[in-house]
Amino acid sequence: MYFSLGTSPSSDSSLSCSKAICDLFKSAKVSALVSIYSLSEAAIIDSMIAAHKRGVNVVVVADYVQSQGKNMNQYLKKLETAGIPIFIASKQKACMHNKVGIFDSLYVATGSYNWTSNGTRKNDENLVVLEGVGLANAYEKYVFERVVNNETAAKIYGYRLTKN
């Protein structure tokens, strides 16, 4: 269990949501699939790019409304420029309010934590990291692939996800 630094007990950095997400990107070997409502935490962006440069298949699906904001849009373009495919959930009728990372089809990071500067430093947020192939596969199918491959990814930066 992790917390935003603004509210974690004694501001203990070992409980930091941002650090936990960055550590998951650092340890990923094969894939890091992200379904995210809002994204603007620089350390996480840098960790995503570093993982991609190591050969990890990093792919992002983002909420349409949030992706149009200047701050998030600039970070999505930075990821795209680095070669990371970005899918925008622009046809989805509901807000794509997920805050999920699926790492190596084994670990799932999820919770209220917005992967943003405010989420890291100001908000009262939490994150859990769960381990399990079955759980990770369910998240890939219902939270990630559903948006990317079938239903809502209309505006696409980068290239389309291909499953082997």
130 assigned to some structural domain: yes
Structural domain count, the chain: 1
14 assigned to some structural domain: yes
Q: Is the dihedral of CA 107, 110, 115, 118 positive or negative?
A: negative
164 assigned to some structural domain: no
**Confidence (pLDDT) at 148:** 79
CATH code of the domain covering residue 38: 3.30.870.10
- Closest alpha carbon to 93 in 140, 147, 39: 147
Residue 154 has pLDDT above 70, yes or no: no
User: Mean per-residue pLDDT for 76-103?
Assistant: 89
Mean pLDDT of the chain: 87
153 assigned to some structural domain: yes
61 assigned to some structural domain: yes
Which pTM value belongs to this model?
Answer: 0.89
Task: State which residues form the domain around 26.
Answer: 2-157
pLDDT in tens, 120-141: 888 889 999 999 999 999 999 9
- The answer to whether 150 touches 116, Cβ cutoff 8 Å, is no
**Confidence (pLDDT) at 9:** 60
58 assigned to some structural domain: yes
pLDDT in tens, 38-72: 999 999 999 999 999 999 999 999 988 898 888 88
Please, is 50 exposed, middle or buried when counting C-beta atoms within 10 Å of its C-beta (0-12, 13-18, 19+)?
middle
